Amino acid sequence: MVAADNGRSGAVALLLHRAKADLSLLDVNKNTALHLACSKANEMCAMLILKEIHNPILINATNSMLQMPLHIAARNGLATVVQALLNRGATVLAVDEEGHTPALACASNKAVADCLALILSTMKPSSSTPSSSSPSSPASTCSSTVASPPPVPPCPMEAFAMVTAKIAMVLLSAWMAT
């Protein structure tokens, strides 16, 4: 854990491969080694740790601030780590103690994140559907496959997740450009 916190990728690799370090250990703030590597923006350490995590619970482990490694990696602009976490099933709608999802963690500061959350909360998916002989049922509104065109709009939570992901990508691109 100390090696990850100090960004010592060589020591992390040695501990992982030879000493079989216990990646479920927590510090006083309930951070795992993955949390610490992400908090120090050490992509190499985080990726080394991720490769050795076999317990999916550790991907979504929360610290004392209810932040998962995805929140921290997103906040620090670790795109490779974010992608790896997403590929491993990290929860994108988890909320930390400030009420922020990992996408909102990408904001440059709390005020920007709060503004972004307000904007996202007012966005509603299009409820208008092309004319049809009968109204859609809630079940059909959230279906992911439609037998014939026109496509049915996604359910509100799917739409929110899609918009949040798009905004997160824009924020990440803007941050990486600076």
Interval 137-163 mean pLDDT: 46
Greatest Cα pair distance, the chain, in angstroms, is 66
Interval 69-82 mean pLDDT: 93
Architecture of domain 2-114+147-177: Alpha Horseshoe (1.25)
CB atoms under 10 Å from CB of 71, counted, come to: 28
**Residue 103 or 152, more confident:** 103
Instruction: Report the pLDDT value the prediction gives residue 45, as an integer from 0 to 100.
Output: 87
> For 124, which DSSP code?
-
Helices (H), strands (E): how many in the chain?
10, 0
Mean pLDDT score of the chain: 74
Q: Could you give the C-alpha distances from 21 to 33, 36, 45, 106, 145, in angstroms and in order? A: 10, 15, 13, 30, 44
